[in-house]
Amino acid sequence: MRCDDTPGGTQERADCGSAYIDVDELPEGLIVLDGDGVVLSVNRAAERLTGVTRRVALGRHIGDGLPFRDADGRDWWKSLDPHGGLAIRSRQPERPLHLPGRPELLVATRLVRRPERGGPVVRIVITLRDASARARLERSRADLVSTVAHELRSPLTSVKGFTATLLAKWERFSDAQKLVMLETVNADADRVTRLITELLDVSRIESGRLQIHRQVVDIPARARRIVAGRVAAGEREDRFHVEVRGELPETWLDQDKIDQILANLVENGLRHGRGTVTIVVEPVEWGVAVSVRDQGEGVAPELVGRVFRQFWRGNGRRRGGTGLGLFIVKGLVEAHGGTISVQRAPGGGAEFRFILPTGAPDFG
């Protein structure tokens, strides 16, 4: 028996050379039929997804034991027609199906032939997945598109309006008025650039393509640099406090991404908190811990699990931004091999604490 054929008979293991795979360990549902559509095998995940036990399904035709239907109520087995069509047909792409009274499933089918090309169908292998995960992904993508469209509309409208006005009426404005308009256009262009950068970061995090380029990074110095930038942008200097505790180990990190983590957490503290934003850097057993604290309302315990999700904006109130900042922060921290959490700060408010390992330099 070949490993990629999955088991025949009523056995629940597939022979892969010298090893066996217990099909009950597979995360996806698996149903194996003979060439006539009689159920030979049902794994545990398939039982859970279909609500039909293997005791009920085994030995019965799939049309009786597992009567899958498409969205229009048509019999899936008849549409599959395993012995009809081209003799080289080997699969049916994944499609949404359901059993009467059960949620929708994503079902893919493989037709096993002997000989492999052009032979009769001797076995049919069906894999099942929960369609709710796809529905959640589609909703998430729709939310992302909606958010991006909303966030882009305002700065692009501003850029278009000011540039059109300047082009049409350049001579009517004084140099001071032109300067104000151009500064506004420049700021809105920066806003669009930041949004595009966030979207690229989300894409890289979700696809696992985020790259870390390590170098020695002085975390307190980077924190002070972020604070200096906020002060130069108009924030009061007394709104910030950077504290270093103990002797810090040498850390090999991606400097640009550390700046991004700190900038996002400081921005979050300013936007959602009140009073002083405090950054505490201290050594821990296996690296460096950084805590960013504010003096606002904090995060309610029931919301802690949602904080690092996409589009979270705090207690359901929109306070600007895309709601992607903390999601990106978590992805950047974890890409360094670190962890991040949120809790109540010692003086009230929220404390975001991330721990980074000392890391190692990149070679080659």
Q: Is residue 315 domain-shared with residue 340, that is, in the same domain?
A: yes
Domain span holding position 301: 215-357
211: how many CB neighbours lie within 10 A of its CB?
Answer: 9
| 183 and 289 share one domain | no
Quick one: 326 and 233 in the same domain? Answer: yes
The structure tokens listed for 339 are: 């962890």
What pLDDT does 6 receive?
A: 46
Kindly state whether residue 362 falls inside one of the protein's structural domains: no
Q: Within a domain: residue 364?
A: no
What pLDDT was estimated at residue 86? 86
**DSSP bridge partners of 350:** 344
- Find where tokens 């001797």 sit: 122
- Regarding whether 11 and 127 lie in a shared domain, the answer is yes
| 239 plus 352 within the same structural domain | yes
pLDDT of residue 22: 83
What is the CATH number for 81? 3.30.450.20
In a domain, 257, yes or no: yes
In a domain, 363, yes or no: no
Report the 10 Å Cβ neighbour count for 269: 27
Is residue 245 classed as helix, strand or coil in its secondary structure?
Answer: coil
Q: Are residues 253 and 266 in the same domain?
A: yes
Spatial distance between the Cα atoms of 40 and 110, rounded to a whole number of angstroms? 15
Give pLDDT, residue 155: 87
The pLDDT value recorded for residue 317 is 45
Q: Which of 71, 97, 132 is the last residue of a domain?
A: 132
- Domain end position, chosen among 110, 132, 154: 132
Domains identified in the chain, total number: 3
From 76, 103, 132, the end of a domain falls on 132
The H or E element spanning position 220 is: helix 219-232
β-pair type (277-284, 240-244): parallel
Q: 3-state DSSP call for residue 42?
A: strand
State the Cα–Cα distance between residues 286 and 311, nearest whole angstrom.
32
CB burial class (10 A; 0-12, 13-18, 19+) of residue 45?
A: buried
234 and 326 assigned to the same domain? yes
Structure tokens at 118: 């052009």
Q: Are residues 231 and 342 in the same domain?
A: yes
pLDDT along the chain (364 residues), means of 10: 44 52 88 96 95 95 94 91 89 92 92 90 95 73 73 86 94 93 91 82 80 93 94 91 94 93 92 87 94 88 80 54 81 93 87 88 56
Do 239 and 345 lie in a common domain? yes
124 shares its domain with 142: no
On the 0-12 / 13-18 / 19+ scale of CB atoms within 10 A, 134 is middle
What does the pLDDT read at residue 151?
A: 75
Separation of alpha carbons 12 and 20, rounded Å: 10
pTM: 0.59
Q: Are residues 124 and 257 in the same domain?
A: no
155: CATH: 1.10.287.130
pLDDT the model gives residue 77: 94
Query: Tell me, what CATH number does 242's domain have?
Result: 3.30.565.10
